[in-house]
Structure 1
Amino acid sequence: QERLVAVIAVMLQETVNATQSLCRPTKLSSFDGPKPHLSASSYVKRIMKYSDASPCCLVVGAIYLERLKKRDDMVALTVYNFQRLFLVAVMLASKFLDDAYASNRIWAEIGGLMVEELNHLELEFLYRIAFSLSISREEYDWYAEELHRRADL
């Protein structure tokens, strides 16, 4: 799990850095928040520590972020939105995959949000990905393999 956390964190940070260096605009202002105090790595560790989500939820959350970006080319991870986007993506993955999952109140505490705000972000994310939460085994395996390959570099 530690390797997976590290690779996901690096991937998130690299994506945010690329967005910042390219000055890419994004139309996800509802996900914007203050500049985070935690590094991507610390934030992913925080999610895993307090949510009790299974490790595969990190992979599926990353897949959901990819789906979001593919559906709308004006979507980009920024320093102001990546934590909220990743939190919601992993939360949805946990709700979809895990038999037991944390309540929205717990997820809101993890992300430092009010429950009402998290509920709104969850619904917006679902609409933006057209409620497409199912993932084939092949898609998961390919993405997980890519992450493992990236970890080996």
Structure 2
Amino acid sequence: MGTLAIDIEGEGVDSDIYFDLGFKGLGKGVVGTPRILSLLSSLLEKSVQKNETESETVNFKDTVAIFHGLRAPTISIQHYIDRIFKYAGCSPSCFLVAYIYVDRFLQRTDVHLTSLNVHRLLITSVLVAAKFIDDAFFNNAYYARVGGVSTAELNRLEMSFLFSLDFRLKVTVNTFQRYCSQLQKEYRDIHQIERPIRVCRIKDSWPSKSDTQCAPTISR
């Protein structure tokens, strides 16, 4: 549902990167999962693991507690991203833009990604990205159901997220391309030398009753 508002055919943009990440080539009727989803989940999981290992020796004092739950959700980051993609119907580019927003959020707030906040940051950032770059999107109540939070909570998360970003949501072609290249490089480095990354950087149908059983996993 929706198309990328950013012109990814701009001058100097390597279109092969977009095919590789799955931003292009997945037309209507084509069954496939864009590579960007598994790439993002892998990088986010590495970042969470690194931060939680460091937290055993360093006392992180995150400034935006609204995104923190009392316990980690039972659904993995990979499955959570896949679920959002399956039901939210947003363009694959939304996930890269959402990643850019999360990076901006982390830099402006000094928050560290952990298993207690990564899911809420994901559903909130994808929601904001879909509203900003897609030509059509579901409302907050639908996203809340997909993400396993209440509508009231998602509304609060969205407002906190937007104010933390100072409502600066524009992503230029150069920024979009730079993050694509950076993600590919970090993904390649992770799988070649297995080093942890430093920081985050850089419609089919309404969910069925059985699919919404994961809703309680995002609890406080």
Q: C-alpha displacement at 1:38, in angstroms? A: 1.1
Matched, 1:105 2:141: yes
Mapping 1:1-150, distance limit 5 Å? 1=22, 2-23=34-55, 24-33=60-69, 34-73=71-110, 75-150=111-186
Per-residue Cα deviation, 1:73-104 (whole angstroms, up to 9, x for no partner): 2x111111100011101110000000011110
Superposition CA RMSD, Å: 1.3
Q: C-alpha displacement at 1:112, in angstroms? A: 0.9
Q: Which has the larger radius of gyration?
A: 2
Q: C-alpha displacement at 1:117, in angstroms? A: 0.7
Task: Give the number of aligned pairs.
Answer: 152
Asked if 2 retains the 8 angstrom alpha-carbon contact of 1:87 and 1:111, the reply is: yes
Identity %: 32
Return the TM-score normalized by structure 2.
0.66
Q: C-alpha displacement at 1:151, in angstroms? A: 4.0
Bigger drift between 26-35 and 135-144 goes to 26-35
Bigger drift between 57-66 and 139-148 goes to 139-148
Question: Aligned letter for 1:148?
Answer: Q
Give the match's secondary structure for 1:147.
helix
Asked if 2 retains the 8 angstrom alpha-carbon contact of 1:7 and 1:150, the reply is: no
Bigger drift between 27-36 and 131-140 goes to 27-36
Per-residue Cα deviation, 1:9-49 (whole angstroms, up to 9, x for no partner): 01111111111011133222211123111111111101100
Which whole-Å CA distance do the structure 2 matches of 1:128 and 1:139 have between them?
Answer: 19
Question: Aligned letter for 1:5?
Answer: L
Which whole-Å CA distance do the structure 1 matches of 2:122 and 2:64 have between them?
Answer: 13
Give the match's secondary structure for 1:80.
coil
